[in-house]
Structure 1
Amino acid sequence: MFDWKGAPVLHTPSPDFAGPYDLAVIGAGVVGCAVARRFALAGARVVVIEKGADILSGASKANSAILHTGFDAPPGSLELELVQAGRAEYLAIRDSLGLPLVETGALVCAWNALEADKLDAIAAQGRANGVNELRLLSGTEARATCPGLSERLVAAIEVAGEHVIDPWSAPLAYLTQAVALGARLLRDAELIGGRFEDDWILETSAGTLRAAAVVNAAGLYGDLVDARLGLKPEFEIRPRKGQFVVLDKAAFAHVPRIVLPVPTEITKGVVVCPTAFGNVLIGPTAEEQEDRTRATVETGALEALLARGAEIVPALAGIPVTAVYAGLRPATESKAYRVIARPERRAITLGGIRSTGLSAALGLASHALKLHEDFGLPATVPAEPPAVCLPNLAQTRERDWQRPDHGEIVCHCELVTRREIEATFDSAIPPGDFGGLRRRTRAGMGRCQGFYCNARLAEMTQGRLAPPLAVGEREE
């Protein structure tokens, strides 16, 4: 089968894709992947409907990759509850799934007396939220834990439990475990409409399917998906763009901890943060826009981020930029998560999941399962979860290039081997486009941004990606 441009369509559903299913999850972002896993573990027959060519093709592909403690979440909020539940589950399952944890800790930094005056209240809120590993530090004490910080630092709060994770391997692991339990992933399948007739009849661009219940985890399209399902939208998505700068790996030595600003009423502000891949990122900006699809980067905003990063950690001023990117967060008119259950129609909406979605995803999934229990649908719990262990991409643990017989190093910037690339195409959820390949392997994400390895990658992936990779291609 070919699309209108003549490119091969690689995700044509099999003839039995119509179901019936116990649950249809709309959206294969981090929340949708976590929901699929949780319901599959509970014995449900699950289908995940994703309009993109690969998972994480929307808001979930661009974030700061911080595993939050919830110290700064609104007290008593559902967000606080689910962030902490998600964090606890991630820590409990990460070893079995092969997922990394870079134990950095964080510093909430005050750069003037006005900001310093707010630290006591921030610490008090954190403790009220159940986060007790907080210390108020003088500027000198904070710099002792992160020597690269500017001498201008007045004071800080140390948050020992804030850490960094791999933002792409985690949801891939969740969905891989769901698929091992029998879940189906339909890519290139946009939801067109749905109606509830004892079961849900869902019209997608790939065909019609039937499911007993639905979970809307459509992120930036959450309100539109509710409308297409005939459900009254109770919120409006207002996309918020965040631009990021990624610095070369030489920056990592100067930023051993997550450096957070004192937040304002509008934004949490610009973060300087190490990554699991050995880089340092600076961002995000916070810019409202109407476009839900395209997140552009602007020179002025990126230059401002670089200047701010150098103010915070002066040594960053001379370090080259490896990459820039922008992501969209599914903000709404309210800061709160917009979680809505409609038992009479067996529908759950998980909307307005913004910057804490990576941390809260597993908590959201368990919460959705509890809401689903009111629907009265039976399920048979599997005897034992299948073993799933993803290959490590984090810089802080052994990588495949350090092991024998890897074939060759294809991407020298990120030290990605031929064996890693071949393995991801042989996996339960192979990449559907070049962005998916990058997120699964780090190929093309380094200093040259694919300049040297794209020709080899194009050769290795011929006939496997839609559209095919062309030399010089970049992911937006």
Structure 2
Amino acid sequence: MPLPRIKPKVPRFDVAVIGAGVVGCAVARRFAREGAKVVVIEKGADILSGASKANSAILHTGFDAPPGSLELDLIRAGRAEYLDIHSALGLSIVETGALVCAWADHEAARLDSIVAQAHENGISEVRLLTGPQARQAVPGLSKALLAGVEVRGEHVIDPWSAPLAYLTEAVALGTEFRRNTEVLSGSFAGDWHLQTSQGDIHAASVVNAAGLFGDEINARLGLPVDFTIRPRKGQFVVLDKAAAVHVPKILLPVPNEITKGIVICPTAFGNVLVGPTAEEQEDRHRATVETTTLKMLKAHGERLVPPLAGIEVTAVYAGLRPGTEKKHYRVSSHPESRAIVLGGIRSTGLSAALGLAQHAVRLHAAFAQPFLKPTETPVITVPNLTETRPRDWQQPGHGELLCHCEMVTRREVEACLTSPVPPGDYGGLRRRTRAGMGRCQGFYCQGRLAEISAGHLACPLSCEGAAE
């Protein structure tokens, strides 16, 4: 008599987080710290495979957020937590401050209202500057500048190490990270039964942090589709590190109803960004760069900061922001199906991620019993990739310099490949080490990187489309 077939056990989690962008990584960390058994489901090969990999890396104060909005509350909460935890996690902060620049009379006329809005939002460290005062703070600014508003609390951070630290801490607390796993459908009957491209997953609750595909995930789960993602492309130019001396502060335009505008921004890595553009498109998967637009961005930077003329472009890139038909975040809770949706998180997602995670836990507490918090929290420190502190190449025993442009050592690359959350593709390797991100864009180091990473990446450097 044949033995009865035993169905394979389907993993059961307390919380399934869909999407491993900066918001998903922060949410996983927060729930894991609460004691939940968490799974993070990502259809890409690595974290930050979607919108989160391309941003301007600004840690916002919320000075220009809509007064009284959820976005403002979450930016302020996320910023406060980042300031509280960044040192322990080994994360950077470059205290640049920002300058909102008025180049025309109608822009200058709006500066008083920008200051008033900042004060209404609880941001007090703002002040009006005349054109000469602004140029004293940033001597390279064009004499065409009429006036400005200084916002002292706006800073820049490493946009890739922060979410890596969040997920690494979550994994140390027992979270599972399922990459190359797409959620195909889901149904709720007391628990969630998720059908994915890599098998079924059961979870008591779900959090939709799917970014550019947030509305599609709602539809696949049978949740209300009450927003539509409208991808907004942003193209960037990255100037050589020689530009940094001319851009000590974040230079912001006076925003309009559609976009915050093109920013000229120092980075934590010593470069200067010019961008992003704001271009609506239908394609959610690919953001292309166009020569005409890149030339416009470079000329724009040189017009506003003339000393940037002649400084070489190190890199160009484009990203997509998950905008919707409305400007505000599309956050909702569905207690009847134990689901939380964190949608429409646009350009302030990096700043608000930790605040969004706090908010998700509060929403979850309204329909679920509290978890048993772990008695100990692991100590997680990610490697420093920025110019803010000493780098690995300055320490003995690093093996060899693999990337001379960005001074990346073999020891750093090997540690990255064997870390608790290793990269899944070349883009992930670059974001974790900065190898291949310098002046030569991997021309000299990619061969050695391919040798050392062989067998570690799901998509090796030799496969078509490996380079980003």
- Cα deviation, 1:254-294, whole Å, max 9, x if unaligned, reads 10100000011111110000001110000000000000000
- Cα deviation, 1:88-124, whole Å, max 9, x if unaligned, reads 0000000110000001000000012211110000000
Quote the Cα distance in structure 2 between the aligned partners of 1:378 and 1:209.
Answer: 22
- Residue 442 of structure 2 corresponds to 450
- Residue 261 of structure 2 corresponds to 269
Q: Is 1:332 the equivalent of 2:324?
A: yes
Match of 2:281 among 289, 313, 320: 289
Q: Is 1:38 the equivalent of 2:30?
A: yes
Quote the Cα distance in structure 1 between the aligned partners of 2:368 and 2:323.
Answer: 32
Q: Is 1:466 the equivalent of 2:462?
A: no
Quote the Cα distance in structure 2 between the aligned partners of 1:270 and 1:313.
Answer: 13
Q: Quickly say closer, same or farther: Cα 1:188–1:17, change in 2 above 3 A.
A: farther
C-alpha displacement at 1:463, in angstroms?
1.1
Quote the Cα distance in structure 1 between the aligned partners of 2:255 and 2:367.
Answer: 40
Q: Is 1:69 the equivalent of 2:38?
A: no
- Residue 306 of structure 2 corresponds to 314
Q: Is 1:192 the equivalent of 2:180?
A: no
Q: Is 1:131 the equivalent of 2:131?
A: no
C-alpha displacement at 1:49, in angstroms?
0.2
Quote the Cα distance in structure 2 between the aligned partners of 1:301 and 1:58.
Answer: 22
Give the residue type in structure 2 aligned to 1:219.
Answer: G
- Residue 4 of structure 2 corresponds to none
C-alpha displacement at 1:17, in angstroms?
8.7
C-alpha displacement at 1:471, in angstroms?
9.4
Decide whether the 8 Å contact of 1:226 with 1:233 is kept in 2: yes
Per the normalisation by structure 2, the TM-score is 0.97
Q: Is 1:355 the equivalent of 2:347?
A: yes
Give the residue type in structure 2 aligned to 1:145.
Answer: A
Quote the Cα distance in structure 1 between the aligned partners of 2:69 and 2:20.
Answer: 25
Quote the Cα distance in structure 2 between the aligned partners of 1:116 and 1:474.
Answer: 46
Q: Quickly say closer, same or farther: Cα 1:47–1:209, change in 2 above 3 A.
A: same
C-alpha displacement at 1:475, in angstroms?
3.0
Query: Is there any run of 5+ residues in structure 2 with no aligned partner, and where?
Result: 1-6
Decide whether the 8 Å contact of 2:460 with 2:466 is kept in 1: no
C-alpha displacement at 1:378, in angstroms?
3.7
Q: Quickly say closer, same or farther: Cα 1:189–1:117, change in 2 above 3 A.
A: same
Decide whether the 8 Å contact of 2:425 with 2:466 is kept in 1: no
Decide whether the 8 Å contact of 1:17 with 1:209 is kept in 2: no
Q: Quickly say closer, same or farther: Cα 1:38–1:17, change in 2 above 3 A.
A: farther
- Residue 251 of structure 1 corresponds to 243
Match of 2:219 among 220, 227, 234: 227
- Residue 174 of structure 2 corresponds to 182
Equivalent positions of 1:153-192 (< 5 A) are 153-192=145-184
Quote the Cα distance in structure 2 between the aligned partners of 1:17 and 1:355.
Answer: 40
- Residue 371 of structure 1 corresponds to 363
Q: Quickly say closer, same or farther: Cα 1:230–1:250, change in 2 above 3 A.
A: same
Quote the Cα distance in structure 2 between the aligned partners of 1:414 and 1:213.
Answer: 42
SS at match of 2:256: coil
- Residue 427 of structure 1 corresponds to 419
Quote the Cα distance in structure 2 between the aligned partners of 1:246 and 1:173.
Answer: 25
Decide whether the 8 Å contact of 1:454 with 1:472 is kept in 2: no
Quote the Cα distance in structure 2 between the aligned partners of 1:288 and 1:440.
Answer: 30
Decide whether the 8 Å contact of 1:450 with 1:472 is kept in 2: no
Quote the Cα distance in structure 2 between the aligned partners of 1:466 and 1:24.
Answer: 23
- Residue 3 of structure 2 corresponds to none
Decide whether the 8 Å contact of 2:459 with 2:466 is kept in 1: no
Equivalent positions of 1:87-166 (< 5 A) are 87-166=79-158
Equivalent positions of 1:362-441 (< 5 A) are 362-441=354-433
Q: Quickly say closer, same or farther: Cα 1:227–1:471, change in 2 above 3 A.
A: closer
Equivalent positions of 1:42-53 (< 5 A) are 42-53=34-45
C-alpha displacement at 1:195, in angstroms?
0.2
Decide whether the 8 Å contact of 1:202 with 1:210 is kept in 2: yes
Quote the Cα distance in structure 2 between the aligned partners of 1:412 and 1:456.
Answer: 12
> How many pairs align?
462
Match of 1:342 among 312, 334, 342: 334
C-alpha displacement at 1:384, in angstroms?
2.4
C-alpha displacement at 1:473, in angstroms?
6.8
Match of 1:84 among 76, 99, 113: 76
Give the residue type in structure 2 aligned to 1:252.
Answer: A
- Cα deviation, 1:407-464, whole Å, max 9, x if unaligned, reads 0000000000000000011210000000000000000000000000000001101111
Decide whether the 8 Å contact of 2:436 with 2:446 is kept in 1: yes
Quote the Cα distance in structure 2 between the aligned partners of 1:262 and 1:349.
Answer: 31
SS at match of 1:281: strand
SS at match of 1:419: helix
Aligned-residue sequence identity (percent) comes to 69
Q: Quickly say closer, same or farther: Cα 1:405–1:264, change in 2 above 3 A.
A: same
SS at match of 1:330: strand
Superposition RMSD on alpha carbons, in Å?
1.3
SS at match of 1:324: strand
Decide whether the 8 Å contact of 1:413 with 1:446 is kept in 2: yes
Give the residue type in structure 2 aligned to 1:237.
Answer: I
Decide whether the 8 Å contact of 1:451 with 1:472 is kept in 2: no
C-alpha displacement at 1:368, in angstroms?
0.3
- Residue 301 of structure 1 corresponds to 293
